[in-house]
Amino acid sequence: MSVSITIEHAHKQFSAYPALRDVSLRVKQQELVALLGPSGSGKTTLLRAIAGLEELDQGRVFFDATDMRSLSLRDRRIGFVFQSYALFKHMTVFENIAFGLRARPRRERPSSAEIHKRVGHLLDLVQLAGLEKRFPTQLSGGQRQRVALARALAIEPSVLLLDEPFGALDAKVRKDLRGWLRELHERTGQTTVFVTHDQEEALELADKVAILNQGVIEQIGSPDAVYDMPENAFVCEFLGEANKLPVHVAGGQAFFDDTPVFGGIGLNRSGPASLYVRPQHIKLADNGPLALPGIVERIRRNGAVRRLEVAVRGYAKRLELDLASTVAPAIGERVSMKFTSAHIF
């Protein structure tokens, strides 16, 4: 039942505020795509436009070759999952999942036996078998979100859309549900688009990530591509952590003040620029070519690594680097740093 989604030159404006500005996007059949961006970037507006809940001022949305403007909301067969679950509190888990099937016109409604069979299959799929007689208030947040997903899947949607599906859950439950949703997607092959502001969630779950900012898509690509090869400064700063160092580019090298700190830059580039380097791409090294001296001012634990904050002469901020070794320099110790990878914008 899955289809491809094509958005062409979508534009949507609220009063004087453009929520979408000439956005184009292609989602392949059975692909899982994340719409990632800060608040107000347009990601939820784009999701609602795909669903037909928001009418575009300009542009078109296609499912395969069908222009969605020619179909009613019911005929679009959209499975939509909200952050707030939107479950019917007076209905059991079974009746919540069966709701979309029972609400169909009589000529399209499955038989009672078929509804029971389909709901039973979905309960197994979302790992809630045995809970069908409970009410939403008797479930945990993670269980309620799985009921909402099962209800969306019950109508056999052509597209599954999720708006911040795990945003209301605590970190541990979110992490567990991410793995479960990826596994569910691989089993169902549903074309899926989900909105999130959680970078880790997007990178872990999606086949492709579209990064939005102020109504435009800044970059689209695989999680590896957008993280390792950002196309501009916004993507680099937004996705993950990065130190930003003012440099001057000349002769294929980047200089901080008069100190060369990074090489291998194309000779066609020159002049002032910003060098972005992630904490994991800075290592401690002996003095030598492309080494930047500094003084360790703070050491703190950051998960499995130690995060060093190093003061650099002539730079107002501290450079942050991750040290995986159990041996760390002392606070106040002079060190030399080398950048193993960096981006120049």
Place of tokens 């980047």: 254
Q: Name the phi and psi angles at 85, rounded to 5.
A: 70, -45
Checking if the pLDDT of 168 tops 80, the result is no
- Residue 73: is it exposed, middle or buried by C-beta count within 10 angstroms (0-12/13-18/19+)? exposed
Instruction: Place 22 in a pLDDT band, splitting at 50, 70 and 90.
Output: very high
The mean pLDDT of 111-129, rounded to a whole number, is 92
Q: What is the pLDDT of residues 91-112, one digit of tens each?
A: 999 999 999 999 888 888 999 9
Cβ-Cβ contacts under 8 Å for 106 (sequence gap 6 or more): none
Phi and psi angles of residue 13, each rounded to the nearest 5 degrees, phi first: -125, 135
Neighbours of 129 (CB within 10 A): 12
Cβ contacts of 59 within 8 Å, gap of 6 or more: 7, 8, 9, 10, 11, 20, 22, 23
| Contact yes or no for 212/42 (Cβ under 8 A) | yes
pLDDT in the model for residue 83: 78
| Cα angle 303-309-310, degrees, rounded to a multiple of 5 | 150
For 170-179, 216-225, 246-255, which range has the lowest pLDDT when averaged over its residues? 170-179
The CA radius of gyration of the chain, in Å to the nearest whole number, is 25
Residue 113 has a pLDDT of 94
* Per-residue pLDDT at 73 exceeds 90: no
The C-alpha torsion from 162 through 164 and 165 to 171, rounded to 10°, is 150
Residue type, 242: A
Kindly report, residue by residue over 261-320, the tens digit of the pLDDT: 999 998 888 999 999 999 999 999 988 899 999 999 999 988 889 999 999 999 999 999
pLDDT one-digit tens code per residue, 131-155:
999 999 999 988 998 899 899 999 8
What pLDDT score does 183 carry? 87
* Mean pLDDT taken over the chain: 92
| Mean pLDDT, residues 23-51 | 96
Strands (E), 203-327: 208-213, 216-221, 243-250, 253-256, 259-262, 271-277, 282-285, 292-302, 305-311, 318-323
Mean pLDDT along residues 40-63: 95
pTM of the model: 0.87
Q: What is the mean pLDDT of residues 51-68?
A: 94
pLDDT of residue 19: 96
Q: Cα(14)–Cα(12) distance, rounded to whole angstroms?
A: 7
Query: For position 180, what pLDDT does the model report?
Result: 83
Q: Per-residue pLDDT averaged across 229-243, rounded? A: 95
Give percent helix, percent strand, percent coil of the chain, each to the nearest 5: 30, 35, 35
Say if residues 89 and 147 touch (Cβ distance below 8 Å). no
Helix pair angle (141-154, 171-188), 10° resolution:
20
Q: What percent of the chain is predicted at pLDDT more than 90? A: 74
Can you give the pLDDT at residue 171?
79
96: closest CA among 62, 145, 47? 145
